[in-house]
Amino acid sequence: MTKDYDALRAERLDQVSKKYRKQIARTPNAKDVGVKAMRAGMKMAMMTVRRAKGVSVRDIEIPGPAGPIPTRIFTPDGVEGPLGVAVNLHFGGFVAGGGISTFDGAHSTLALAVGCAVVAPDFRLPPEHPFPAGIEDVWAVTNWVADNAAEQGWDNSRIAIGGGCSGGNLASVIALMARDAGAPTLALQYPWSFPTDAHCDTESQREFAEGYGLEAADNQFLISKYMGENGSKDDWRVSPLLVPSVEGVAPAVMVVGEWDILRDEVVQYARRFEEAGVPVSLHIIPLEGHFPNPDNDNAGETVLHKALSDRIGSTR
């Protein structure tokens, strides 16, 4: 029996503010505006979020497979070390979000809320640098963090990795690679609203295909830009849901919106963890699309901050 998606959507949308409905409905179409315009729009939007006070910032370059990787480190003031550390990967539909200062607001807020160092690499982006360039950069950064933790005043038994959307996809892949390599040991992975299967064949992909922040056509367009000629939808480094086993991977907290087209594949990925006996906490945020709903009092962010505080945080 086919669900009456229009009726279900109308009933649920009546429960949120007009402001949020407009926000998720007016998201520019990436395929139409193009990568350059998408990058400019995201940079402008994210840089309106001010850097949190009480956080020190320094820039370094980490050796990478294609040259130095610009990286910004955020450290909360007045917190005794050694600190836990979060490798926090920006979102941007794989192609956008670059620039070392673009996400200063988000990274500094995380450092302050959790009481940990935040390492934010400006990893390579497609289409100029398609798959697996971003993975290679983040892998280099994550290993550098573990290898240099003591020197930096960090605790390498309290390393987490995560991020939103494409950043969450990369974080999931890095966690699997760390499992396979036997190092570095990760205390937690925290991907949110992230793609796990490039085949994009789920009920939520169809139900929320248009008008909920990330549209199905855009998602497929951005994934194709990410893969380029080297990637495959069947490669678990593109589609972590398809990895043969998740046994032994780092514990996870996963967050996704009720109306996000990525909802079902996040749920499926979390279910793989449960079946393998890997600790996982899945949070589906009600009345929320791909983007956070301010009516929810930052529910998803609160979940992530709490999980990180419990695993890698420090008290003031």
> What pLDDT, in 10s, does the model give residues 88-116?
999 999 999 999 999 999 999 999 999 99
> Tokens 């892998």 map to which residue?
139
pLDDT of residue 11: 64
d(CA 49, CA 37): 20
Cβ neighbors of 12 (< 8 A, separation 6 or more) are 258, 259, 287
pLDDT of residue 255: 98
Identify whether the C-beta of residue 204 lies closer than 8 Å to the C-beta of residue 260. yes
From 158, 57, 54, select the one nearest 103 (Cα to Cα): 57
Structure tokens at 309: 């505080």
Residues in a beta bridge with 284: 256
pLDDT at 305 over 50: yes
Give the DSSP letter of residue 73.
Answer: E
d(CA 68, CA 256): 33
Domain coordinates in residue numbering, the chain:
5-312
d(CA 270, CA 278): 9
* Residue 183: other Cβ atoms inside 10 A: 12
Write out pLDDT tens, residues 24-63: 555 667 777 888 988 998 888 888 888 999 999 999 999 9
Write out pLDDT tens, residues 120-174: 999 999 999 999 999 999 999 999 999 999 999 999 999 999 999 999 999 999 9
Residues in a beta bridge with 55: 76
How many CA atoms, within 13 angstroms, populate the side-chain half-sphere of residue 184? 26
Topology of 5-312 in CATH?
A: Rossmann fold (3.40.50)
pLDDT of residue 41: 87
Identify whether the C-beta of residue 175 lies closer than 8 Å to the C-beta of residue 250. yes
d(CA 274, CA 256): 17
- Strand order of the sheet with strand 55-62? 55-62, 69-76, 117-121, 83-89, 154-164, 188-192, 252-257, 280-285
pLDDT of residue 5: 54
Radius of gyration, alpha carbons of the chain: 18
